Structure 1
Amino acid sequence: MARSFGEPLTKLRAVPIIDNGEPLVDPRTLSSRVAFAEKHPYFTEMKCTPHVRKSVAEMIARAADSLPEGLTLTIIEGYRPLAQQRWMYEQIKNEFATKHPEWSKATLHRVTNTMSAPPEDRCPPPHTTGGAFDLGLVDTKTNTPLDMISPFPMDSTSAPTERKGLSDEARRNRDLLVKTLTAAGLTNYAGEWWHWSYGDSGWALRVGAPHAIYGALPADTSPGE
């Protein structure tokens, strides 16, 4: 059940977790330049929330306020309950299995794990901690997402942040995203340009922190609206 892009599950599992107890916060309350997509673009039946841990919300707001005029930082999803993580993981695995019936079970698990954290692993899936979120940049005037993927489709082929062969426009937009969020203290999972976090096990591994500061939130956690 290896995880690629420099974050194998063996290393993630070894990261100690000392949860600091921060609550979930809606980052829209901290900046008028943070928006919420309301619906997931691919799992439309799934209920999403923009809520993240307090420090993460503050970083998101700081990043949004530093963007060039005319752009909005739009949250696709923040905190994700474990049951929802489990459902999404199975959806992605089934999609890969349908597209690639020639894959072995080991290959199917490995590739699925690069796109979705395994829900039953002892390393908490990032979104279940409230420290991770998915996002994009949107042109405020036209309400149009900036191009991050051309000439590729929006799937696993365009997902890696440093994907080679991007158009000049897509590369510029990704560079802006990376520069802005990194400056705010957030870190990126290199396998997905849209996935960023702070405080979870992935963050700790990327920055060399002695421990993660967010573990999985209890199953009955409700971010409120």
Structure 2
Amino acid sequence: MTILLSDPRVHGVPLVDNGDPLVRLDRSLGRHSHVRSGLAQRLADAQSMLPPGVRLHVVEGHRSAAAQAAIVASYSAELCAVHPGISPDDLARLSSRFVAPLAVAPHVAGAAVDLTLVGSDGVELDLGTPIDATPEQSAGRCYFDAVDISAEARAYRELLAGALTGAGLVNYPTEWWHWSFGDRYWALMTGADHALYGPADLRSAA
């Protein structure tokens, strides 16, 4: 059973921030996003595990608390329109398939990236859905283990996963593109004693 970010077990993970600074990712990894330095090193390690002609392409890293809250509000409104009368608990659970509650949001901690693969020409490879396709928009194909995607997309997802898990990251299984290190979800999934990264302020970036 998939553990969602709204699960109390995620909220219950202790946090002991190790102080790794936010750093700007090298342009070779995509947009100039900021992430914690420990995550940046692991992304570089993952890149080295990919075959020639294929590379990581980061679309987003650190996100402000305000931006996170805005995404939660927007997607929650969409869900309320689709499910009139939905209970607060069900709304929190459904919304967390696509956007993390602010209190445990990996992006706000600088602990997560949304990313894909590109070829040597810089064109994104087909991993089954666009990044940030909601479960509703993609009919569930945004889930990493979705079965109704092409063999090519499945192979690219497995290639991405092999490199990123090999570098110590974990995937959020409802979003094939979302990978993290050091946050509460990572700690729960890996059995770590505590999370390494809490909310981070971009004004303190290295």
TM-score (norm 2): 0.88
| Count of aligned positions | 198
Consecutive unaligned residues in structure 1, runs of 5 or more: 37-48
In structure 2, C-alpha distance between the alignment counterparts of 1:94 and 1:57, rounded to whole Å: 34
Q: Please state if 1:170 is matched with 2:168.
A: no
- CA deviations 1:75-133 (Å, max 9, x no partner) are 111011101100111111122233x14451333332112211122x4xx3111111111
Equivalent residues of 1:17, 1:212 under 8 A apart: yes
Instruction: Give the equivalent residue in structure 2 for 1:144.
Output: 123
Partner of 2:2: 5
- In the alignment, the residues of structure 1 paired with residue 93 and residue 68 of structure 2 have an alpha-carbon distance, to the nearest angstrom, of 17
**What are the residue-to-residue correspondences of 1:178-193 with 2, within 5 Å?**
178-193=161-176
2:22 to 14, 21, 24: 24
Cα separation, 1, equivalents of 2:92 and 2:187: 24
In terms of fraction of residues, the more helix-rich structure is 2
Q: Distance in 1 between matches of 2:189 and 2:127?
A: 23
Alignment of 1:86 with 2:63, yes or no, is no
Do structure 1's residue 125 and structure 2's residue 105 form an aligned pair? yes
1:41 corresponding residue in structure 2: none
SS at 1:17 equivalent: coil
State the alpha-carbon separation in 2 of the partners of residues 50 and 154 from structure 1: 20
Q: What is the letter of the counterpart of residue 12 of structure 1? A: V
Cα-to-partner distance string for 1:163-220 (whole Å, 9 max, x where unaligned): 12221011001000100111111111111111111110000000000001111114x6
- Which residue, 20, 27, 34 being the options, matches 1:51? 34
Mind listing any 5+ residue stretches in structure 2 that lack a counterpart?
A: none
Of the candidates 24, 30, 35, which is equivalent to residue 35 of structure 1? 30
For residue 134 of structure 2, the aligned residue among 140, 148, 155 is 155
CA contact (8 A) 1:27 1:61 kept: no
Measured against aligned partners, the alpha-carbon deviations of 1:29-85 in whole angstroms (never above 9, x if no partner) come to 6xx4x122xxxxxxxxxxxx5111001000101111221111221111101110110
Are 2:141 and 2:148, in contact at CA under 8 Å, matched by a contact in 1?
Answer: no
Higher relative contact order (CA 8 A, sep 6+): 2
2:179 aligned residue: 196
